[in-house]
């Protein structure tokens, strides 16, 4: 805890005219007033105003501000009255403390009208004297630093309010370091996992890149020295929240994020900025579109700097800020930098930004108050003010009055995910201000949004392009991915059950456990999903589970051709085929397996189907491949063209179906299916209900919106196949279905 004399000495060090007696009086008064009060952490309450005063002393604020900080909670939390403060410390400090008391309960989670009133009070208080805002921000900063002592629910509310109101306000006032620290604490409280991930990752990168950062900094330094530009180069790591929000905004992973480091060249004079810039740009390549001159065009909050990105030493992208020391101080302290030098007029130098009353940020505040005094509708004022303060945000409410801040352009889908991922995932509709509205409706400030949920709902993947916020988009992507994966898992399971059955085994997930290593998969689910997606063959899984068993079966396509008791290929029985050789008259296998002419003429020839399969109803032809056997093609197969010049290989065959012993035949279909949860299940259902067997599925092309796939089926005949294709075409999720491979 900061001690009394330390605080006083600190203030005297930058403000020699400070009223030492005033500071001591305020210190003793506040300590006595708070007495034995304790903070949530168990620390004496007085430690809080004291630390707030210390923060403001770091910002080098005047004695009245420091005294106000010490006294800021006395009227609200103790028996002290405004009259006592006025009497003991004068009207100036009395007004400041009173202003802080009025905005003490700036509780944004309350009703809209109250919130508007609070915001109005805050602005009135801070605009009458900017120091009220500075104390308020320091107060919030200390509360955020000690947030861990609060109960989780309260912690979350305070952190949200900080993220929504105080951090942007600090930024708007040009106090960059304060904004960053507030965001950091709030980020950690609101999303501890993400915070930990980013911090951990940064530590790794820091270790790995330390040499590189030094190298870049010294290369820049050397170049400046060589060209006689006086400048100090420093490397700076970006803050976890800035990194996180960039990842969310650009939808990229931490690994893809290239610019975690920024470099800064601080020079004495404005001209030096441009000299340094020319040195940098003539030495290294500038990245197009990244140059910004905020010196000739300062930002609204008075920020000035030159920004550029170069392909620097070792071909690294290097983000650079070039600025003077004065600009540096304004960038960090903003309004406070002006206030600080209020009494020493002009001490900051004449670079366009002068005393506090003329600063852009302060002018903005004045303008707001002007409007406030003109209007008499606080809600309208709030609307207007927030538009000004958060130009790129909209503020909406849940039916219970919780404030949800969203980027401009956001819709109820974003709102639902901002409330809770579970709400977003089950969202089916929305009411805006009590009226049912489309989910794509752009939200406006002050809208009350009620999300209608259905447990059965999964977010359609198309929402990814409708959502505006990164949070919603990544949650939708995750939900879609999980759902699609679950479907593939289910499908893979069915394929495996059948594959195991064919080998007279019973499939169970446990049986996969021992084979995971051999299959290079982590879990049984992974195996089933891979089989479902067609990345892993069911036969490979069977082999991995039963490695000791020899693959006694012939390759799958030839499975239909089996030796009968007499050692012949019982083609008629097994395949239902009738063969006729060209020029040899009709020779069928009607006279039993022993009479199959294939064997007599050509030896022990296996028969198989071409890749696309063939089903009864197709006109078919056989192609003889020496040393391999006969392949059956449908007569319209494109592949037959390859044999046009070799008529001797063509074999006329016709179907000869044994009605009493129906067989299934292989066929291939190609589909284009929308990538929606449930789509694959619909495909599998159509095929299953039509009594078709799925043998294999292969994804041939997958883009975010749809997947093209080839499915190997087993069907009874052409009519059966056509019925299945027609059934698939009738589904909305199937944009195309056709026979393939023929």
Q: Which residue out of 19, 77, 98, 351 is catalytically annotated?
A: 77
Active site residue 414: no
**Tokens 């008499």 map to which residue?**
376
Per-residue tokens: 115: 């919130």
DSSP 602-621: HSS--EEE-TTB--BTB-EE
Nearer to Mn ion, 131 or 223 (CB): 131
Q: Which is nearer to Mn ion, 50 or 575 (CB)?
A: 50
Minimum distance of Mn ion from residue 72's CB (angstroms): 6
Beta bridge partners, 734, equal 673
* List of residues 6+ apart from 130 with CB closer than 8 A: 335, 339, 356, 362, 365
Q: In whole angstroms, how close is the CB of 135 to Mn ion at the nearest point?
A: 9
Only one of the segments 32-40, 136-144, 451-459, 614-622 lies at the binding site for Mn ion (rule: CB under 5 A); that segment is 136-144
Using DSSP's 3-state secondary structure scheme, residue 321 falls into strand
| Shortest distance (Å) from residue 76 CB to Mn ion | 8
The residues pairing with 55 across neighbouring beta strands, listed in sequence order, are: none
Measured from each CB, the residue nearest to Mn ion is 139
What tokens does 126 get? 């801070």
Distances (CA, A) of 551 to 538, 539, 543: 13, 9, 8
CB of 140 to Mn ion, least distance (A): 8
> Other CB atoms closer than 10 Å to residue 203's CB: what's the count?
10
The least CB distance from residue 325 to Mn ion, in Å, is: 33
The b-or-e profile of 278-307 (16+ CB within 10 A means b, else e) is: ebbeebbebeeeeeebbbeebeebbbbbbe
Q: What is the DSSP pairing of strand 706-715 with strand 665-674? A: antiparallel
Helix, strand, coil: what percent of the chain each, to 5?
Answer: 50, 15, 35
Q: Point out which span in 73-81, 317-325, 596-604, 734-742 binds Mn ion (CB under 5 A).
A: 73-81
In the bound complex, what is the minimum distance in angstroms from residue 100's beta carbon to Mn ion? Answer: 8
CB of 69 to Mn ion, least distance (A): 9
The smaller minimum CB distance to Mn ion, of residues 48 and 572, is found at: 48
Q: Which is nearer to Mn ion, 15 or 74 (CB)?
A: 74
Of 51, 62, 63, 73, which one interacts with Mn ion (CB under 5 A)? 73
Name beta bridge partners: 448.
397
Q: How far apart are CA 123 and CA 332, in angstroms?
A: 22
The minimum distance between CB 382 and Mn ion, in angstroms, equals 24
Residue found under tokens 């012993």: 661
**Closest to Mn ion by CB, 145 or 619:** 145
Q: How far apart are CA 505 and CA 502, in angstroms?
A: 7
CA atoms lying within 13 Å on the CB side of residue 113: 1
- Which residues is 609 bridged to in the sheet? 632
Q: Which is nearer to Mn ion, 77 or 723 (CB)?
A: 77
Region binding Mn ion by CB under 5 A among candidate stretches 67-75, 77-85, 279-287, 510-518: 67-75
562: buried, middle or exposed (CB in 10 Å: 19+, 13-18, 0-12)? Answer: middle
Q: Among 51, 62, 63, 139, indicate the residue that binds Mn ion (CB under 5 A).
A: 139
Nearer to Mn ion, 73 or 526 (CB): 73
Q: Pick between residue 100 and residue 451 the one whose CB is nearest to Mn ion.
A: 100
Residue 234 bridge partners (DSSP)? 264
Q: How far apart are the first and last CA of the chain?
A: 83
In the complex with Mn ion, the residue whose CB is nearer, 103 or 123, is: 103
51 binds Mn ion (CB under 5 A): no
- Residue 299: which residues within 8 A CB-CB, separation 6 or more? none
Per CB under 5 A, the segment of 70-78, 190-198, 222-230, 657-665 that binds Mn ion is 70-78
Asked whether the beta carbons of 280 and 320 are under 8 A apart, the reply is yes
Q: Which segment (14-22, 139-147, 278-286, 304-312) binds Mn ion by CB under 5 A? A: 139-147
Of 72-80, 211-219, 344-352, 541-549, the segment contacting Mn ion by CB under 5 A is 72-80
Which range binds Mn ion by CB under 5 A, 131-139, 590-598, 599-607, 646-654? Answer: 131-139
Rounded CA separation 668/689 (Å): 18
Q: Which long-range contacts (CB under 8 A, 24 or more apart) does 250-255 make?
A: 251/470, 251/473, 251/474, 254/197, 254/198, 254/201
**Of these residues, 9, 20, 58, 76, which one is catalytic?**
76
Q: Between residues 139 and 618, which has the closer beta carbon with respect to Mn ion?
A: 139
Quote the CA–CA distance of 708 and 599 in Å, as a whole number: 41
Residue 502-541 contact track with Mn ion, rule CB under 5 A, x = bound: ----------------------------------------
Smaller CB separation from Mn ion, 139 or 302:
139
Tokens of 358: 């003329």
CA dist., res. 678 & res. 686, Å (int): 12
Closer Cβ to Mn ion, 89 or 569, answer by number? 89
For 636, phi then psi, to 5°, come to -90, 5
| Whole-number CA gyration radius for the chain | 38
- 637, 689 Cβ separation under 8 angstroms: no
Q: CB under 8 Å to 316, separation ≥6 — which residues?
A: 212, 216
Interface segment toward Mn ion; rule CB under 5 A; list 65-73, 255-263, 362-370, 484-492:
65-73
Q: Are 445 and 403 in contact (CB under 8 A)?
A: no
Has 566 been annotated as catalytic?
Answer: no
Say how many CA atoms lie within 13 Å of 40 toward its Cβ: 12
Q: How far is the CB of 49 from Mn ion (least distance, A)?
A: 7
To Mn ion, the closest distance from the beta carbon of 476 in angstroms equals: 40
| Of residues 142 and 560, the one with the C-beta less far from Mn ion | 142
Q: Which stretch binds Mn ion (CB under 5 A): 62-70, 137-145, 352-360, 678-686?
A: 137-145
Q: What is the residue whose two structure tokens read 């005949």?
A: 717
- How many C-beta atoms lie closer than 10 Å to residue 22's C-beta? 19
Name the minimum Å distance from CB 75 to Mn ion.
Answer: 11
In whole angstroms, what is the distance from residue 466 CA to residue 468 CA? 6
* Cβ partners under 8 Å of residue 163, min gap 6: 182, 183, 186, 187, 190, 405
Count interface residues toward Mn ion (CB under 5 A): 2
- Phi, psi angle pair for 114, to nearest 5°: -65, -40
Q: Show the tokens assigned to 325.
A: 């020391």
Active-site residue set: 76-77
Positions in the binding site for Mn ion (CB under 5 A) = 73, 139
């Amino acid at each position: 805890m900061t001690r009394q004399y330390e605080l006083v000495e600190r203030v005297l060090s930058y403000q020699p005219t400070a009223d030492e007696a005033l500071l001591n009086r305020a210190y003793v008064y506040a300590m006595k007033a708070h007495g034995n009060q304790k903070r949530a952490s168990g620390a004496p309450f007085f430690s809080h105003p004291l630390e707030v005063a210390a923060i403001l002393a770091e910002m080098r604020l005047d004695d009245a501000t420091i005294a106000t900080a010490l006294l800021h909670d006395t009227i609200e939390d103790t028996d002290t009255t405004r009259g006592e403060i006025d009497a003991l410390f004068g009207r100036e400090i009395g007004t400041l403390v009173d202003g802080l008391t009025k905005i003490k309960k700036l509780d944004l989670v309350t009703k809209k009208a109250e919130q508007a009133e609070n915001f109005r009070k805050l602005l009135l208080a801070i605009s009458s004297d900017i120091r009220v805002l500075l104390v308020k921000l320091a107060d919030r900063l200390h509360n955020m630093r000690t947030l861990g002592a609060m109960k989780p629910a309260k912690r979350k509310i305070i952190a949200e309010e900080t993220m929504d109101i105080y951090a942007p306000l600090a930024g708007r006032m040009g106090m960059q370091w304060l904004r960053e620290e507030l965001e950091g604490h709030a980020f950690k409280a609101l999303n501890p996992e993400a915070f930990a991930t980013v911090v951990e990752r940064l530590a790794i990168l820091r270790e790995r890149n330390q040499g590189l950062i030094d190298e870049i900094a010294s290369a820049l330094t050397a170049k400046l020295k060589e060209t006689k530009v006086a400048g100090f180069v420093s490397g700076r790591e970006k803050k976890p929240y800035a990194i996180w929000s960039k990842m969310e905004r650009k939808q990229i992973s931490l690994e893809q994020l290239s610019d975690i480091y920024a470099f800064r060249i601080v020079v004495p004079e404005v001209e030096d900025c441009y000299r340094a810039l020319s040195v940098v740009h003539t030495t290294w390549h500038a990245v197009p579109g990244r140059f910004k001159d905020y010196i000739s065009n300062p930002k609204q909050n008075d920020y000035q700097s030159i920004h550029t990105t170069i392909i620097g030493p070792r071909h690294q992208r290097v983000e650079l800020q070039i600025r003077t020391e004065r600009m540096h101080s304004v960038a960090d302290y903003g309004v406070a930098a002006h206030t600080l030098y209020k009494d020493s007029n002009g001490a900051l130098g004449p670079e366009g930004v002068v005393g506090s009353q003329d600063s852009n940020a302060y002018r903005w505040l004045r303008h707001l108050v002007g409007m406030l005094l003109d209007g008499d509708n606080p809600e309208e004022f709030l609307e207007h003010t927030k538009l000004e303060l958060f130009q790129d945000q909209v503020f909406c409410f849940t039916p219970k009055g919780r404030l949800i801040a969203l980027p401009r352009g956001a819709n109820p889908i974003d709102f639902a995910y901002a409330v809770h991922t579970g709400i977003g995932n089950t969202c089916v509709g929305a009411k805006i201000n009590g009226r049912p509205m489309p989910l794509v409706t752009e939200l406006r400030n002050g809208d009350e949004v009620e999300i209608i949920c259905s447990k059965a709902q999964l977010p359609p993947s198309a929402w990814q392009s409708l959502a505006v916020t990164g949070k919603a988009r990544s949650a939708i992507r995750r939900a879609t991915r999980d759902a699609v994966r679950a479907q593939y898992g289910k499908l893979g399971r069915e394929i495996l059950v059948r594959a195991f059955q064919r080998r007279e085994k019973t499939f169970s997930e446990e049986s996969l456990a021992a084979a995971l290593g051999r299959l290079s998969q982590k879990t049984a689910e992974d195996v089933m999903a891979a089989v479902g997606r067609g990345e892993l063959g069911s036969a490979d899984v069977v082999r991995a589970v039963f490695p000791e068993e020899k693959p006694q079966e012939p390759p799958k396509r030839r499975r239909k051709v089996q030796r009968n008791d007499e050692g012949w290929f019982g083609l008629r029985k097994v395949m239902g085929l009738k063969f006729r050789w060209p020029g040899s008259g009709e020779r069928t296998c009607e006279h039993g397996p022993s009479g199959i002419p294939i064997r007599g003429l050509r030896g022990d020839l296996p028969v198989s189907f071409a890749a696309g399969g063939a089903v009864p109803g197709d006109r078919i032809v056989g192609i003889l491949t020496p040393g391999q056997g006969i392949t059956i093609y449908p007569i319209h197969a494109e592949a037959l063209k390859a044999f046009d010049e070799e008529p001797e290989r063509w074999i006329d065959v016709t179907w000869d179906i044994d009605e009493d012993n129906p067989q299934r035949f292989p066929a291939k279909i190609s589909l284009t299916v929308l990538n929606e949860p449930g789509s694959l299940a619909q495909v599998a259902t159509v095929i299953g209900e039509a009594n078709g067997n799925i043998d294999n599925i292969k994804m041939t092309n997958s883009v975010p919106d749809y997947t093209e796939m080839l499915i190997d089926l087993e069907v009874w005949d052409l009519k059966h196949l056509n019925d299945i294709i027609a059934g698939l075409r009738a589904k909305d999720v199937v944009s195309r279905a056709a026979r393939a491979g023929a």
